Structure 1
Amino acid sequence: MMEPLFLHPVMQEKIWGGTRLREEFDYVIPSETTGECWAISAHPNGVSTVVNGAFAGWGLDQLYAQHRELFGNSESPVFPLLTKILDANDWLSVQVHPDDTYGLAHEGELGKTECWYVIAADEGAEIIYGHQAQSKEDLAAQIQAGNWEDLLTRVPVKAGDFFFVPSGTMHAIGKRILILETQQSSDTTYRVYDFDRRDDQGNLRELHIQQSIDVTTIGQPANSHPDKQIIGNLATTTFVSNPFFTVYQWEVTGPVEMKKVADYYLVSVLDGQGQVTVGEQTYPLQKGQHFILPSTVTSWKFDGQLHLIASHP
């Protein structure tokens, strides 16, 4: 099977969501508080569906289970990555994710190391990225005291910024930010602070204070250092490469021929339009599409004006 796998995403409503997924990407959204587009996902809480070719109608989870040869015969029991686009119309909760050891022991699923590419951000937008506590005891005391202003590290953000968010990093995406997130396939989140918000039933959302203290690392997170290379019509920025994933930005400005250096790729079209040719077949590409280049695809050609984010395990 020599073809890319185009995917239909799953939309998730969130208390902090908005309408930018519709405005920016023309997605059909379920409500005016749609927070997440699970674009490439085999996670049981939101499975993407193949829309083209021999496997049209298959869930990505089913495809991964039954046709591992499309994914380099990966030994991971679950599809390892999840690509999302997040519309933070308001602040997300201040949260932290466990590592694999803690996640598997306490939640029965992988931990979550993730990273963010900022697609758009309003003037003055900021995130929380790390904390100022000097020890676990200090962390617990400041959380107990509700000393959020001194504890949390705020960082201004703009379109084009990239942040690596390893498990154990205390973090929050701020309001009016649109982000592409590449993460381990996990839905485990420990909320440490939620700005005392209430849900539509008037209840405070659940917090996970002890788990948060358990898994939060001490010391400021170290962001990655992007590396950019330009060859012909392709500018490749390698944002991060670690044991969980490698994430690239591909900026295409004309015909480009590429050969695979990984088992398979997850690709999202963030802007522009063009095409990808695999073998004899050409597929049109436009903003908001997401696809996988499986192991059976060893080379391909892009053409057009395209802004792509790609990743692989």
Structure 2
Amino acid sequence: MQPLKFKPIFMERIWGGDALKTKYGFNIPYGKKIGELWCISDNRTAVSEVEGGSFDGVKLNELAKQHKNDIYGEGKSYDRFPLLIKIIDANDKLSVQVHPDDDYAYKHENGDLGKTEMWYIIDAKPGAKLVCGLKEGTTKEQFKTLLDEGRLEDCLNEIEINPGDVVYIPSGLVHAIGDGILICEIQQNSDLTYRVYDYNRVDDNGNKRELHIDKALDVIDFNLKSDKIVPEYKKIEGGSIAEVVRSKYFNTDVINIDTSVIIDTKGIFNTLVVVEGECELVCGDDMMHLKRGESVLIPASIDRYIIDGKCKVVRSYI
């Protein structure tokens, strides 16, 4: 198979901005608040469609059924493509929220998956912050009291982040993205979010967004916190690599390409998001140009590929 590039899926959000247009050059309608670019998705909400090549116009879910062994590797199978890859433009702060684990989602969300995710910070204004868990000693009762009093910020654990940082967000962790941050998000194929607190915002029609407090209180781990990971890069031929996340849901590396880097897939599908620069992706006789902001799925049947150019990519696989 060839490497697969997909048509971008844009999601309008109350907190979105125009960074996907100004930084990455995507054609976004004037005046739209685009908060998320879904780069690779086989989610019930939206399914990616191949752009170019032999499978132009084919949906990812159809392709995965027809070419299961090519995409996933011999003997591997998933009901749907297991990862959801996004770029998030937080022009305003996101709600304080939490995601369920697989068991809870299966029982309470019609057999859906839970959601563990990670963030690579592409860009951030000076002093930008994330919420990653709760302050030490916060109990469920204290949390509920502060929520009722509209003072939830008093118990939130905030961390300051910089471009290039990584944050791992397991299910059960209370979290929120602050304003002025551009993120590459790798996650389980789930769009389940339980909003706890939304700063009393209203949409253009004066309506507040739905909260999911009861379910959130069911799944919050009150002892769970997370901190930023500053990637430690090691030299490889043609560049450098940092192994930033290792989990049962996905592994993620950040790779700096200075000239040309060769990667063996070892019979496992890879996803790449170009977060800086541009490159040529070479897979055997196939060559694909990738600009910053673009992404690609490399099927498991491709043994090795070459990234040629000067860029930074976020690579994920299972």
TM range (shorter): over 0.9
Structure 1 CA distance for aligned equivalents of residues 49 and 168 of structure 2: 28
Cα deviation per residue 1:151-183 (whole Å; 9 max; x = unaligned)?
111111111111000001111101110000000
Number of aligned positions between the proteins: 312
Please give the secondary structure, in 2, of the residue aligned with 1:188: coil
- Mapped to 2, the partners of 1:123 and 1:223 lie a distance apart of 18
- Find the aligned partners of 1:27 and 1:101 in 2 and give their Cα distance: 38
* 1:244 aligned residue: 249
If the length of structure 1 is used for normalisation, what is the TM-score?
Answer: 0.95
Task: Using the aligned pairs only, state the percent identity.
Answer: 38
8 Å Cα contact 1:224-1:240 kept in structure 2? no
Question: Is the Cα contact below 8 Å between 2:132 and 2:226 reproduced in 1?
Answer: no
Task: Summarize deviations over 1:167-201 as a string: whole Å, max 9, x none.
Answer: 01111101110000000111111010000001111
Q: Which residue of 1 aligns with 2:100?
A: 98
**2:46 matched residue in structure 1:** 46
Q: 1:184 aligns with which of 188, 199, 209?
A: 188
| Cα shift at 1:142 | 2.9
Moved more, 82-91 or 258-267: 258-267
Partner Cα separation in structure 2 for residue 241 and residue 145 of structure 1: 39
Name the amino acid aligned to 2:272. Answer: V
Determine if the alignment matches structure 1 residue 198 to structure 2 residue 195.
no
Supply the AA of the counterpart residue of 2:301: T
The reply on whether 1:113 has 2:116 as its aligned counterpart is yes
Q: Take 1:274 and 1:168, find their aligned partners in 2: how far apart are those partners?
A: 37
- Which of these residues, 285, 293, 302, is aligned with residue 298 of structure 2? 293
| Cα offset, 1:295, TM superposition | 1.1
Task: Give the structure 1 partner of residue 64 of structure 2.
Answer: 64
SS of the equivalent of 2:63 reads: helix
Show structure 1 runs of 4+ deviating over 3 A: 222-227
Task: Tell me: CA distance 1:18–1:249, structure 2 relative to 1, closer, same or farther (3 Å).
Answer: same
Question: In structure 2, what is the Cα distance between the partners aligned to 1:220 and 1:33?
Answer: 32
Q: Which residue of 1 aligns with 2:36?
A: 36
Give the aligned residue type for 2:16.
G
Does structure 2 retain, via aligned residues, the 8 Å contact 1:168–1:216? yes
TM-score by length of 2: 0.93
Does structure 1 residue 89 correspond to structure 2 residue 88?
A: no
| 1:136 and 2:140 are equivalent in the alignment | yes
1:124 aligns with 2:159: no
After superposing the two structures, state which structure 1 stretch, 94-103 or 279-288, moved more: 279-288
- Asked whether the equivalents of residues 116 and 162 of structure 1 are also in contact (C-alpha less than 8 Å), the reply is yes
Q: Unmatched 5+ residue regions in structure 2?
A: none
**Whole-angstrom CA distance in 1 between matches of 2:289 and 2:255:** 17
RMSD: 1.6
Report if the CA contact (8 A) 1:139-1:213 is conserved: no
**Bigger CA drift: 92-101 or 218-227?**
218-227
The answer to whether the Cα contact below 8 Å between 2:172 and 2:224 also exists between their aligned partners in 1 is no
Conserved in 2, the CA contact under 8 Å of 1:235 and 1:252?
Answer: yes
For 2:183, what is the secondary structure of its paired residue?
strand
- Counterpart AA for 2:164: G
Describe the superposition over 1:253-292 as per-residue Cα deviations: whole angstroms up to 9, x where unpaired.
Answer: 1122221135100111111122121112322222122101
